[in-house]
């Protein structure tokens, strides 16, 4: 089985599950991935994990993973029958799709289980938070710390592969939404990475997770205050000077201007621990990241020497 999705689309639009990749006909840039047909199920339902990663520098890498997120469920019990291959409520966990079938998700023959589902649906639709996911997994004997370590490893591997292809942007950051899936053997797979993920808040659970995420992200990157009036004066003077002399001034004058505009503040240096971490955990730089970089260098050196 394969899953096919248009490149650049979002919210589950255009995604298809197919049996025969050779029969695919498409007229736009499309991503085709082998379908993970043996997902770890909870209550017979397929689910995946949405976690958030903030990158403040790509080369060298500085990245932080948020310790809360969502487990997103399908609303129809999982099966690989060819009759249900087109049933998005079986195969796709996107909340924008599954919200149209939330009523069925709450149905169950077990009244106590039904009540739990009903309460969860009121809070988060077809999503639950990581603490709720952890509780469910540990009730089944699954160690959350082990799952979390595997999630971080997959995130670091993806950043390791992308690091050299993304130009470094000074004094900038990006928040990514990572979609991860765990199979029946407890291997964690990367499904996709979303830049600028939605911060929409349709349920109480969205508010519970995303509002602290937004606040913690701002505190983490700690944007410097600056004097707007002084900045306008500096820019005006530099434009006039360039028009008159062809130059904007030397490095010494630039340092003086920056000191005045930023009120003497200095941005945090790479590698220094942020003053405010909130619910974030730094994953790079770290021992795990350093080990991964060394392994990558060894592999690339071997490939280079064999050519």
CATH of the domain at 280: 3.30.470.20
Calpha distance 12→122 (Å, rounded): 22
Give the total number of structural domains in the chain. 3
Element (H, E) at 304: helix 287-306
Residue 127 lies in a domain: yes
Residue 268 lies in a domain: no
Q: What is the predicted pLDDT for the residue at 283?
A: 97
% of the chain with per-residue pLDDT over 90: 37
pLDDT reading at 109 higher than 50: no
Q: What is the predicted pLDDT for the residue at 214?
A: 97
pTM, to two decimals: 0.82
Residue 266 lies in a domain: no
One domain, residues 48 and 174: yes
Q: What is the predicted pLDDT for the residue at 179?
A: 96
pLDDT tens readout for residues 227-244: 788 888 888 888 887 877
Residue 267 lies in a domain: no
Q: What is the predicted pLDDT for the residue at 300?
A: 67
Q: Which string of DSSP letters, residue by residue, matches 239-287?
A: HHHHHHHS----HHHHHHHHHHHTTT--PPPTTSPPS--TTEEEEESSH
One domain, residues 10 and 152: no
One domain, residues 103 and 219: yes
108 pLDDT tier (thresholds 50, 70, 90): very low
Is the alpha carbon torsion for 163, 169, 170, 171 positive or negative?
A: negative
Let me know: does 73 contact 197? Beta carbons within 8 Å: no
One domain, residues 68 and 187: yes
Size of the chain in residues: 307
> Which is higher by pLDDT, 221 or 269?
221
User: DSSP secondary-structure letter at 76?
Assistant: S
One domain, residues 81 and 142: yes
**Burial class, 67, CB count within 10 angstroms (exposed 0-12 / middle 13-18 / buried 19+):** middle
One domain, residues 45 and 82: yes
Q: Domain span at residue 10? A: 1-35
- Mean pLDDT computed over every residue of the chain: 83
One domain, residues 100 and 207: yes
Which residue has 């004066």 as its token pair?
Answer: 233
Q: What is the predicted pLDDT for the residue at 14?
A: 65
pLDDT tens readout for residues 35-67: 888 999 998 999 999 999 999 998 889 999 999
What's the maximum distance between 2 C-alpha atoms anywhere in the chain?
A: 82
User: DSSP secondary-structure letter at 94?
Assistant: -
Nearest to 219, CA basis, from 265, 174, 276: 276
One domain, residues 288 and 200: yes
Question: Crossing angle, helix 228-245 and helix 251-261, to 10 degrees?
Answer: 160
Let me know: does 66 contact 56? Beta carbons within 8 Å: no
Residues linked to residue 192 through DSSP beta bridges, in sequence order: 179
User: What separation, in Å, do the N-terminal and C-terminal C-alpha atoms of the chain show?
Assistant: 35
């Amino acid at each position: 089985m394969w899953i096919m999705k248009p490149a650049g689309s979002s919210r589950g639009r255009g995604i298809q599950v197919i049996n025969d990749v050779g029969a695919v006909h498409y007229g736009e840039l499309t991503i085709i991935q082998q379908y993970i047909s043996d997902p770890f199920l909870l209550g017979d339902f397929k689910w995946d994990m949405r976690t958030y990663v903030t990158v403040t520098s790509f080369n060298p890498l500085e990245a932080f993973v948020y310790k809360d997120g969502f487990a997103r469920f399908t609303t129809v019990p999982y099966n690989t029958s060819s009759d249900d291959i087109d049933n998005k409520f079986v195969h796709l966990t996107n909340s924008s799709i599954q919200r149209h079938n939330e009523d069925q998700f709450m149905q169950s023959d077990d009244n106590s289980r039904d009540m739990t589902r009903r309460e969860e649906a009121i809070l988060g639709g077809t999503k639950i938070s990581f603490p709720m996911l952890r509780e469910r997994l540990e009730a089944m004997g699954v160690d959350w710390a082990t799952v979390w370590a595997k999630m971080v490893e997959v995130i670091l591997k993806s950043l390791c592969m992308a690091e050299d292809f993304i130009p470094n942007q000074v004094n900038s950051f990006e928040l990514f939404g990572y979609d991860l899936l765990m199979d029946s053997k407890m291997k964690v797979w990367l499904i996709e990475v979303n830049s600028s993920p939605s911060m929409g808040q349709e349920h109480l659970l969205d508010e519970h997770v995303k509002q602290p995420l937004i606040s913690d992200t701002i505190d983490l990157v700690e944007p410097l205050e600056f004097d707007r009036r002084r900045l306008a004066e500096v820019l005006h003077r530099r434009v006039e000077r360039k028009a008159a002399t062809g130059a904007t001034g030397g490095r010494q004058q630039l340092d003086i201007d920056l000191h005045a505009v930023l009120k003497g503040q200095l941005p945090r240096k790479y590698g220094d621990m942020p003053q405010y971490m909130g619910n974030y955990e730094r994953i790079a730089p770290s021992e795990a990241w350093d080990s991964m970089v060394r392994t990558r260098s060894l592999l690339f050196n071997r490939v280079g020497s064999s050519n």
